[in-house]
Amino acid sequence: MNNSSLPAQQGLYDPRNEHDACGVGFVAHIKGQASHDRVSQGLQILENLTHRGAVGADPLAGDGAGILIQIPDQFLRDEMNWGGIQLPSAGDYGVGMLFLPRDAGARAACEKIVAEKIIAEGQTLVGWRDVPVDNSTLGESVKALEPIVRQVFIGRGENAADQDAFERKLFVIRKTAEHAISKLPKNQGKGFYVPSLSSRTIVYKGMLLADQVGKYFVDLQDARVVSAFSLVDQRFSPTPSRLGIWRTHSA
Active-site residue set? 22
Q: Where are the beta strands (DSSP E) in the chain?
A: 23-28, 65-70, 93-100, 124-130, 148-155, 193-198, 201-206, 229-234
Non-local (6+) Cβ contacts of 31 within 8 A are none
Q: Where are the beta strands (DSSP E) in 29-122?
A: 65-70, 93-100
Non-local (6+) Cβ contacts of 224 within 8 A are 36, 72, 74, 75, 78
Question: Contact at 8 Å (CB) between 61 and 120?
Answer: no
Closest by CA to 111, choosing from 171, 46, 189, is: 189
Identify the bridge partners of residue 246 per DSSP, sorted by sequence position.
Answer: none
| β-pairing verdict for 93-100 and 148-155 | antiparallel
> CB 55: neighbour CB atoms within 10 A?
13
Closest by CA to 75, choosing from 245, 234, 225, is: 225
